[in-house]
């Protein structure tokens, strides 16, 4: 009898949690193209409702994108030609909650969630030599290579809110709304390693994924719940 009650309780708990298990940190809401999830020695395919875990590396091709909603209601678009490591996410509604994401190639757009509201210093994005801390934010982080419209380097564009961009060499800068933090791949003699740009980078191009991001971020606009 007790075993049966325990089974029923466990099934109800799964239904309430939306089929999330202990290791899951987010859910794919939308995927376009051939998006790989590298998990240990496995390579899985991202599709709607796929559950991502800490340690997963997301790899997109030249025409691929994926939209992920994390368990703390933060949101992330992983852009084409990207490799992004979901290093860690702990959400227990405690001061130890944290989120760490590493951009290895390409770029992301990210909107902060519940962790950032109470523990904003515990949310970090890294890209190459740069670390970005958030201040209640909607941001883009991108590593741009040679031969593209933008100069090669690391960019942190702020759609809304504010970020703190810090280099391994110690330089820091606060990046305000509609500005970009930038560290060049090949700095010229005497050129600052960390700069604030007023011009909007060319790589910022809106897509249907960005429309979905706006719908989910602004509750006045109908969207997926």
Per-domain residue ranges of the chain: 21-217
Q: What pLDDT band is residue 218 in, cutting at 50, 70 and 90?
A: confident
Compute CA distances 5 → 11, 119, 120, 199, 200, whole Å. 10, 38, 40, 61, 58
pLDDT score for 20: 53
Across 115-205, the runs of DSSP E, i.e. the strands, are 123-127, 130-134, 138-144, 153-160, 163-167, 172-175, 180-184, 195-197
Q: What is the pTM of this model?
A: 0.87
Q: Dump pLDDT digits (tens) for 34-50.
A: 999 999 999 999 999 99
With contact defined as beta carbons under 8 Å apart, do 91 and 97 qualify?
yes
Q: Dump pLDDT digits (tens) for 140-150.
A: 999 999 999 99
Q: 2.30.30.100, 2.60.120.1440, 3.40.50.300, 3.40.30.10: which CATH number matches 21-217? A: 2.60.120.1440
Q: What pLDDT band is residue 87 in, cutting at 50, 70 and 90?
A: very high
pLDDT score for 9: 41
pLDDT score for 22: 60
Q: What pLDDT band is residue 224 in, cutting at 50, 70 and 90?
A: very low
Distance of CA 172 to the CA centre of its chain: 21
């Amino acid at each position: 009898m007790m075993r049966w009650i325990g089974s029923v309780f466990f099934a109800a708990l799964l239904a309430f949690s939306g089929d999330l298990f202990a290791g899951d940190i987010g859910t794919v809401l939308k995927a376009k193209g051939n998006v790989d999830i590298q998990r240990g020695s496995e390579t899985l395919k991202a599709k709607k409702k796929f559950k991502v875990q800490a340690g997963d590396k997301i790899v997109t091709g030249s025409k691929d994108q994926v939209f992920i909603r994390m368990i703390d209601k933060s949101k992330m678009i992983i852009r084409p030609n990207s490799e992004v490591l979901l290093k860690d996410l702990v959400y227990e509604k405690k001061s130890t909650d944290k989120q760490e994401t590493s951009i290895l190639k390409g770029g992301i757009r990210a909107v902060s969630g519940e962790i950032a509201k109470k523990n904003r210093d515990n949310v970090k994005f890294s890209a190459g030599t740069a670390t970005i801390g958030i201040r209640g934010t909607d941001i883009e982080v991108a590593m741009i290579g040679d031969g593209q419209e933008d100069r090669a380097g690391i960019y942190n564009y702020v759609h809304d809110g504010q970020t703190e961009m810090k280099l391994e060499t110690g330089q820091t800068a606060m990046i305000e709304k509609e500005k970009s933090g930038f560290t060049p791949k090949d700095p010229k003699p005497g050129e600052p390693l960390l700069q604030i740009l007023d011009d909007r980078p060319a790589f910022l191009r809106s897509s249907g994924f960005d429309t979905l991001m706006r719908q989910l971020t602004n509750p006045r606009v109908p969207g997926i719940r």
